[in-house]
Amino acid sequence: MEQTVYLETLGCQMNKLDAELIRQRLGQEGYRFTLDADQAGVIIFVTCSVRQRAEDKVLSKIGQLRRRHDQQKDLILAVAGCMAERLGPALFDLHPQVDVVCAPGRIHQLGELIARARHERRRQVALNDPAEQSALEDLDASRRQTDADHPFMAYLRVMRGCNKFCSYCVVPYVRGREVSRPPESIVAEAQRLADRGVKEITLLGQTVNSYCHRNGTTTVRLADLLARVHEIAGLERLRFVTSYPRDFDERLLAAMADLPKVCEYLHLPAQSGSDRILAAMNRRYTAGQYLDLIERARQRVPGIAVAGDFIVGFPGEREEDFEATCELMRRVRYKNCFIFKYSPRPGTRADGDLADDVPTETKRRRNQILLDLQEEISLADNQAFVGQTVEILVEGPSKNPHLDEGRTGPADPAYSRSLGRSGPADSGSIQLVGRTRGDHIVVLQARPDRIGRIVPVRVVRASALTLFAEPVR
């Protein structure tokens, strides 16, 4: 039991990637993994600090382990990730049962910290340290595993940290300043992933389009990196997230237009449609500049799908600011949006300088208005796909059969009818899920031999979240 680990991850793709690397490193050190926390001798939480809710969630989980920790003397409880850096040793005061606090920049040492906590019976804390950058790079470069649930798709980190200091955000404080990984190392990792059967790679960075690696007189930016990864045989699709509007240049749009493997998809958070609020957020662009970028992207890359992020109830947000956000949403017509109610994050400029003065009820109302507006847009735009043939990468069996309200099980005649077929579904067919190049989720009833392949499908029905399709023979 001592060598059995239960690992739970909260938050963004960066955290999921960190969790994958922790799993790999601990596996090499002789640990086994379990999905049952009760069977574990080591419990690790990879935490998120971006919103208060994410922190509250993990603090509550840690709280629930107190009694067990008192009873099971050799149980090691480790907190890794952004919350570990933000709270540091203060976590021991909040929850004395925590044994290890490990910041995102020290995850390569997590196994060592766990072993020390166990053998020395002393709490261990490791916070970010710029001197550890090369060890972190080695950890990234050592990556061998891919997500077992999605063996044909992989995220690949191209940079760490962020220099933007948006006034509401803790990321630059908990993940440190921007560091772009060497392009050779990224290309080698992409090659290894492709050799293991990965068809689609998403290059990952907090502000991925700010990627910039300098070596002597050579500067490699994201457009150059995309061109290099594009050369890898076997790889069929390339994406990159998340983009920062101000750093988006024409060369990157040209790369999207010219490199066939680069998908017509952009995740480009606007956060607000009001220039006054954007300035208070320190986003360093205006709504007009953002819209201009969207227009140029749509001209250069026809059919491009855009996903967005918004924060409602930022300090000082008046009705007219919120209306400007709604207007921006209507004009851009996002494929989907992540919408958050503002919550102050300790240590950020907004928390120090601005009063959280928008009432909770107003935040809730504005949040709901944006959700409804986005649903209306997504439904209308998805319905425009009905009758079209699109190309999808089939990821695997659908894990959410409820996605199609007309379907109750594999090869279900009701599902066949919902797809417009009169007879029963093919025997041996199951519900599969895949994604278009624009990242639309597609559900179809088909034989599992399509998994891992890029296939054409005809869209027969659409909801706001999902396209329902049938195979094209």
**Binding region for ligand SF4 (CB under 6 A):** 162, 164-166, 169, 171-172, 206-207, 244
Q: Please state the closest distance from residue 23 (CB atom) to ligand SF4, in A.
A: 24
Q: Please state the closest distance from residue 169 (CB atom) to ligand SF4, in A.
A: 3
Inter-residue contact 55 to 48 (CB < 8 Å): yes
Q: Please state the closest distance from residue 326 (CB atom) to ligand SF4, in A.
A: 21
Position of tokens 């009760």?
38
SS (H, E, C) 223-240: HHHHHHHHCCCCCCEEEE
Q: Please state the closest distance from residue 233 (CB atom) to ligand SF4, in A.
A: 34
Nearest CB to ligand SF4, comparing residues 281 and 432 = 281
Contacts of residue 232, Cβ cutoff 8 Å, sequence gap at least 6: 187, 190, 191, 194
* Helix, strand, coil content of the chain in percent (nearest 5): 40, 25, 35
Nearest CB to ligand SF4, comparing residues 164 and 417 = 164
Nearest CB to ligand SF4, comparing residues 72 and 289 = 289
Which residues, listed in sequence order, are joined to residue 212 by a DSSP beta bridge? 221
Q: Is 52 helix (H, G, I), strand (E, B) or coil?
A: helix
Nearest CB to ligand SF4, comparing residues 340 and 415 = 340
Q: Please state the closest distance from residue 269 (CB atom) to ligand SF4, in A.
A: 7
Nearest CB to ligand SF4, comparing residues 168 and 334 = 168
Contacts by residues 232-235 (CB-CB < 8 Å, ≥ 24 positions apart)? 232/187, 232/190, 232/191, 232/194, 233/194, 234/194, 234/195, 234/197, 234/199, 235/190, 235/193, 235/194, 235/198, 235/199, 235/200, 235/201, 235/261
Q: In terms of C-beta density within 10 A (0-12 exposed, 13-18 middle, 19 or more buried), how is residue 11 classed?
A: buried
Nearest CB to ligand SF4, comparing residues 54 and 171 = 171
Q: Please state the closest distance from residue 82 (CB atom) to ligand SF4, in A.
A: 11
Nearest CB to ligand SF4, comparing residues 169 and 193 = 169
Nearest CB to ligand SF4, comparing residues 316 and 448 = 316
Compute the distance between CA of residue 122 and CA of residue 95 in angstroms, rounded to an integer: 15
Q: Please state the closest distance from residue 206 (CB atom) to ligand SF4, in A.
A: 4
The two three-digit tokens of residue 449, written as one number: 């031999």
Q: Please state the closest distance from residue 430 (CB atom) to ligand SF4, in A.
A: 39
Spell out where 223-349 has E strands.
237-241, 265-267, 305-312, 336-341
Helix residue spans in 333-447 (DSSP H): 349-353, 360-383, 413-418
Nearest CB to ligand SF4, comparing residues 244 and 415 = 244
Q: Please state the closest distance from residue 294 (CB atom) to ligand SF4, in A.
A: 18
Residue type, position 387, single letter: G
Q: Which residue, 255, 274, 261, 286, is CA-closest to 312?
A: 274
The two three-digit tokens of residue 418, written as one number: 């919902």
Q: Which residue, 446, 454, 448, is CA-closest to 471?
A: 446
Q: Please state the closest distance from residue 47 (CB atom) to ligand SF4, in A.
A: 16
Compute the distance between CA of residue 383 and CA of residue 396 in angstroms, rounded to an integer: 24
Nearest CB to ligand SF4, comparing residues 113 and 307 = 307
